[in-house]
């Protein structure tokens, strides 16, 4: 039990910050935590959570991994749903969801092949897909509009029993991740992210692990696109694109090490919630909206600094442990082979 809790230790600061921000927001806006607002609040928060979760697999895979295309991919998916699928009568969840997931996974596969097999630096490879997807989204949907499928709009602000509707989208991402957690992929992903050379020496297919990480990021970004359509009730080729910075900041704030090898979806989701609560708190306190991006940038810098300090402490801890084990294993020069004092 304790070892399982230690797996989520990295998310502790973000969880604490979330609680603090909830309290501050509740004081600034007394209606925020009222049960009647839970559905609509989570609907607005869900893109922040999902886009940070989408960024995490690529970042955890290490080697400078990141996916700048998650925002434009979400925008492209939303444009396809309202401007391509909807007008053709393809609007049921059994049709839309598989198509969206395939689009996301295929985009992630392209990123994965460019990074893992073509050895193109992740920032360059995913910047290319960022620009391509941003252009395609505007081509498909030049202006915000279109009609969202009724089942998606029903999720936004709805409460199914005690469960806010958009929580189902987050639960779907968690379900995919949880299935992979029960396989060797989780261990391999963190091993590759932490020490790719050591992982290769241990027989792990590093390229395949990294490529699949980008497939996961693309798939989760596609789900984020559905969350935007549910929230807006339409498609928009510009708003989701701006969430690329939020995805990186959310993952970092949630304790996902940008150097790779540490983190998870819980921390990323919490980091995304922190950024939403920061925005909500600033709005409740009537702070000029122009400062929001500055706050996101500051949160990212603080998170990067904290992650760097934690990584330094971890390395020093491993070095001390290694030194201790070597000292214990070395025979005492003052004893003979039978352990008698000389």
Q: In terms of pLDDT, which residue wins out, 23 or 297?
A: 23
Q: What is the pLDDT of residues 120-132, one digit of tens each?
A: 999 999 999 999 9
Beta carbons of 269 and 10 less than 8 angstroms apart: no
**Domain residues of the chain, as ranges?**
2-326
pLDDT of residue 5: 56
Q: What is the pLDDT of residues 3-44, one digit of tens each?
A: 555 667 777 778 888 888 888 877 877 777 676 677 778 888
Residue 236 neighbours by CB under 8 Å, 6+ apart = 75, 78, 141, 144, 228
Q: What does the pLDDT average to over 294-308? A: 72
Percent of the chain with pLDDT strictly greater than 70? 82
Residue 96 neighbours by CB under 8 Å, 6+ apart = 81, 85, 90, 149, 226
Beta carbons of 270 and 20 less than 8 angstroms apart: no
Domain 2-326 classified CATH 1.10.3470.10?
yes
Beta carbons of 50 and 226 less than 8 angstroms apart: no
Q: What does the pLDDT average to over 294-315? A: 70
Residue 46 neighbours by CB under 8 Å, 6+ apart = 166, 167, 169, 170, 227, 230, 231
């Amino acid at each position: 039990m304790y070892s399982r809790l230690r797996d989520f230790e990295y998310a502790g600061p973000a969880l604490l910050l979330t609680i603090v921000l909830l309290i501050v927001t509740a004081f600034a806006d007394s209606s925020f935590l009222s049960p009647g607002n839970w559905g609509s609040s989570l609907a607005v928060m869900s893109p922040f959570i999902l886009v940070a979760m989408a960024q995490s697999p690529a970042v955890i895979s290490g080697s400078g991994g990141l996916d700048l295309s998650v925002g434009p991919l979400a925008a492209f998916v939303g444009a396809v749903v309202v401007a391509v699928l909807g007008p053709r009568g393809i609007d049921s969840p059994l049709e839309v969801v598989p198509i969206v997931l395939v689009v996301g996974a295929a985009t992630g596969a392209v990123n994965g092949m460019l990074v893992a097999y073509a050895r193109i630096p992740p920032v360059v490879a995913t910047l290319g897909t960022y620009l391509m997807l941003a252009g395609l989204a505007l081509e498909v949907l030049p202006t915000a509009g279109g009609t969202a499928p009724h089942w998606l709009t029903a999720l936004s602000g709805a409460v199914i029993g005690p469960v806010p509707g958009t929580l189902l989208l987050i639960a779907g991402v968690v379900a995919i991740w949880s299935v992979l957690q029960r396989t060797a992929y989780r261990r391999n992903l963190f091993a590759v992210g932490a020490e790719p050379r050591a992982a290769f020496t241990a027989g792990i297919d590093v390229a395949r692990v990294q490529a699949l990480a980008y497939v996961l990021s693309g798939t989760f970004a596609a789900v984020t696109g559905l969350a935007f359509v549910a929230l807006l009730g339409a498609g928009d080729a510009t708003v989701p694109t701006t969430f690329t910075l939020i995805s990186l900041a959310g993952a970092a704030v949630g304790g996902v090490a940008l150097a790779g090898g540490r983190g998870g979806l819980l921390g990323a989701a919490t980091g995304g919630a922190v950024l939403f609560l920061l925005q909500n708190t600033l709005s409740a306190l009537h702070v000029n909206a122009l400062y929001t991006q500055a706050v996101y940038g500051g949160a990212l810098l603080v998170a990067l600094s904290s992650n760097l300090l934690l990584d330094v402490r971890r390395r020093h801890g491993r070095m001390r442990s290694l030194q201790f084990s070597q000292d214990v294993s070395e025979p005492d020069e003052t004893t003979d082979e039978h352990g008698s004092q000389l």
